[in-house]
Every structure is written in structure tokens, then in C-alpha cells.
Amino acid sequence: MTMLQFVRVLVASLIIASAVGDEIKNVLLLLADDAGLEMGAYLNKFSQTANLDALARRGLLFNNAFTSVSSCSPSRAQLLTGQASHSNGMYGLHHSVHNFNVLPNIQSLPNVLREKSNGHILSGIIGKKHVGAADHFRFDFEETEEKHPINQIGRNITNIKLYTREFLRQAKTQQKPFFLMIGFHDPHRCGHVTPQYGEFCERWGTGEEGMGTIPDWKPIYYDWRNLDIPAYLPATDVVRKELAAQYMTISRLDQGVGLVLKELESFDFANNTLVMYTSDNGPPFPAARTNLYERGIKSPFILASPNAEDRHHETTGAMVSLMDVYATILDAFQLSLNNSAFSSKSLMPLLRKEPRPQEDDAVYGSHSYHEITMDYPMRMIRTRQYKLIHNLNYWSYFPIDQDFYTSPTFQQILNATLHRDNLPWYRSLQSYYERPEWELYNIKSDTMERHNLAEQPEYKNVLKVLKQRLHEWQASTNDPWLCAPHAVLQAQGIYKDNPVCLTLGHESL
């Protein structure tokens, strides 16, 4: 090799190294609101998500990522505390009459980062926050719905861009590593509050008369007549029109992701920032959000490292929980997770090596409320083959939340049921409302979760093993619902050191 060739190779190597980076100093968490797998990277051929797809190509795309709870505030709390909702106390929605907050002893990621780094790490949140109490989630930089109208801070991608710029400028000036969380409000429904903007606020900011303008948004209009309907939804034109509106707001979210990543580049942070993208829970359709069925808990997840040695343009089949975001961020900053009570584990090792899959790999779910009136606690274990759901309030009908109730899709299901009209849906409204105590599904052969195996004799041992594993997880995470619904947990007085479940006598009634 000549000296000239050597210099050229050296320069090329330096360029590649500078483009990819060699050390993680910062973390950016991009969080969607009620988004499922409606992305090109997840083989959705309609929803246009060029920026998310590009992020997936330069990162690691997860095919088995799951939220542990299918509700907004509890899901955000799991991300920021590393604990299930029954452990951290965020049992349901934080805002308004629902009024849920984490327990007094719970500290969240921004507080822990500040404490462990002695204030050296700058934390920020832009967009939807939706957790509390405020002292438990104290970011150094906050521009959220607590200070702005939710659409202006969560859907106006120009505002998100400008506040991102302000935060990054602070980080640059102060020469601090940072953790920044962007809480997009898209594609959450808004039709029950501001119906004039469309069911998903898809008309808000389009530049149409009376809709205002978001300068950086180039609206993408979808022809509902050309859309395929996912198998879990009724095959009707009403649903197609809703999907067109949802995809339109997902494209707004996607363009916002592009703006944020461009700001990252302009401040020279792209080469040393770990980027995550996910969603709090599944879309607001039947059998999705507020459910522990697959469409309610299956989560998009991208982990893009700037490190040249890490995996890029690859997929992983590892079973992971959104509770793992907490430990992953601590690990990225080389800070320890020193409490064995956490359900969180770092995902950083996956950037280097794919683990060997095991049939008993599992994630867990804990959903107690959504709105305060939706008292329907559920617990779940999901392995690679089976899912077991424990419905603790199975004597009651499954509850419906407000914005989903007013949606055209649910209204069509409701009216068809009331008028005894045929509806092309894979289940009935009665079976959706009336659920047994135990639901066991073979996920590999029954992807729609239509055939409950809990009462089948040949699955008796599977049921027993999964029940035991679920009970052990609840016990290890201090679940107050551990003994429900047929017994009462006694863990005080003479039972303090040896908590027990004392029967309510249901079996003899």
C-alpha cells in the first residue's frame, strides 16, 4: 500500500467513525401515544413513516417488545420507574378526576439520574408528560401539557422542534450529557373532545379553513378505499375511514421524529446519542388499548446506537418489556441498577449479540385501571408460545373508556349489536364484555386469541406452570392484588414476616 492509499484509507475510516460515533453520552427517547405497529419497518404497506423506517435501518428493530400495561399514565410510569404499575402505584390515568400518582417512595428516571450523577446529567421532557406527582418526575427542562395546550406541545411538530433546539442548546452550553424524552400526542384520539378536528385530530394544523397551520407538517392524505383492515377489526368502511385518519396523524408523528433527529445532528449530538422509539400502548381500537391482548401490548421498539460495533439494520426476537427502558438508560450512562425489586433489565447487551431464544422466555403484564371508573384489574404472563391472562374482576363486564366509546368503530359495533345486524368482526360484543377468570391462548397457532384453552384437560399442566410463574412474579413485585379475587392478602401484624392469602370462601358459595 502506498502512502497515498494509506492516507485515503485512514481518512475514510475517520469519516465512518465520526458518522457512527464511538461512545454513548446521551439518550433520546421518542414516545408515541397509542401507536401500534403501523410502520413500514413492521411491514405495514400503507402508513408512510419514512423517518421511523430510516431509524430502524440504522438501529435494532424489536419484534417481541411488549408494554406491561395498556394505558397511558401507567405505561409512562413503567418507562420512567422500571416497575409494574401495581408496584409504582400509577394504577390508572394521572389527569383530571382519575388522579392517580405514584407511591410516596417511588423515584423516577430524571430524579435518579440527577442524584446518581450529582446533577451532571441534564434531563428534559417535551410534549406529553401525563404522570405525577410532579416532585417524583422532576425534569430539569420541562415543556409539557402542564404549561401548554396538549395539541400545541404534543402534535405541533414545529413547536416540538423549537423546544428540542432550546434544550440541546442548553446541553451544549452547559457541556452536559443529557436524557431527553419527546412525548408525542399523535396518534391519540381527540374526537370526543374536539370533534371539529377529526377523530384523531388529523385536520388540526393542516392549513384548511379554521384548522390553523403547523409550518413543518406536510400532511399526507390517505384514500380510505385503498386500505386493508387488520384482522382484529371489523371489515367495514367505517373502520377504513378511521384508519385513514390514524395513518395521517402517524405520518405527522413521523415527520416530527425527523425534525427532532435533524436537530440532534445540527448540534453534533447524533454521533454520541442512543435513540429509542416506542409507544405507550396499542391503538385505541377494540381488543387493543386497555386490553392485555396482543394488539394492546405489542409495541414498536427501535434501539439505535451510534456505536460502530453495535448492531445496525438488524432485527431481534428477544422478549423484552417496556419496563426495561429504565435499566437500559441507566446502563447507557454507566450507572447501576442496585435494587433487585425492579422488573427492569438492560437491553444494551442486545446491541452486541442476539441471545439464544428459550421457549419459557416471558414478559409480564399488570393492568388495573385506565379511567377511575374502569375497575378491571388483569395480570398476565406471555411466553413465546402461550399467554395466560388472569381477570380479577371477571364477574363484571369489561369496561369501555370515553374516547373509545364515542369512536365510529365502537359505535358501529354497539349499534349493530343493539339492532341485531350482522357485523364482519371476529368476535361478538357479548364475548368482549363477558370474560372468564382465566384466559389461556396458544399464541403461535392462535394469533387472534380466539380459542381459550384454560378449561381444556390437555393444557392442565401448562396452565398450572404459568399460574405459578405469574403468582411468583406478583409476589416478587409486591402486587397488592396478589391474592385476588378469591382471597385476601394479609401482610401485617402476625403475618408481617410471612404474608398469606386467606380465603373468602368463594369456592363454597
Residues, the chain: 509
Contact 200, 249 (CB under 8 A): yes
Q: In angstroms, what CA-CA distances link 147 with 42, 136, 202?
A: 35, 17, 23
State how far the Cα of 335 lies from the Cα of 123, in Å rounded to an integer.
Answer: 15
3-state secondary structure (DSSP) of residue 117: coil
Cell numbers at 73, concatenated? 399514565
CA distances from 430 to 125, 373, 374, 434 (A): 42, 20, 17, 6
Question: CB neighbours (10 Å) of residue 173?
Answer: 8
**Element (DSSP H or E) covering residue 397:** none
How does strand 26-32 pair with strand 320-321?
Answer: unpaired
345 CB burial (10 A radius; 0-12, 13-18, 19+): middle
Residue 341, preceding bond cis, omega within 30 degrees? no
Say if residues 265 and 259 touch (Cβ distance below 8 Å): no
Cα–Cα distances in Å, from 343 out to 17, 79, 337?
35, 11, 11
The distance of Cα 435 from the centroid of its chain, to the nearest Å, equals 24
d(CA 330, CA 301): 18
Beta strands 378-383; 386-391: pairing state? antiparallel
Helix or strand holding residue 94 (H, E): none
Residue appearing with cell numbers 374502569: 374
Q: Cell 392469602 appears where?
A: 501
Phi, psi of 412 (to 5 degrees): -65, -40
Sign of CA dihedral 185, 188, 194, 195: positive
Residue 384: name the closest of 452, 460, 445 by CA: 445
Enter the C-alpha cell of residue 358: 428459550
* Alpha-carbon distances of 498 from 191, 495, 504, rounded to whole Å: 50, 5, 19
Q: What is the 3-state secondary structure (H, E, C) of 142-185?
A: EEECCCCCHHHHHCCHHHHHHHHHHHHHHHHHHCCCEEEEEECC
- Residues identified as active-site: 72
Q: Cβ(364)–Cβ(371) under 8 Å?
A: no
> 135, 107 in Cβ contact below 8 A?
no
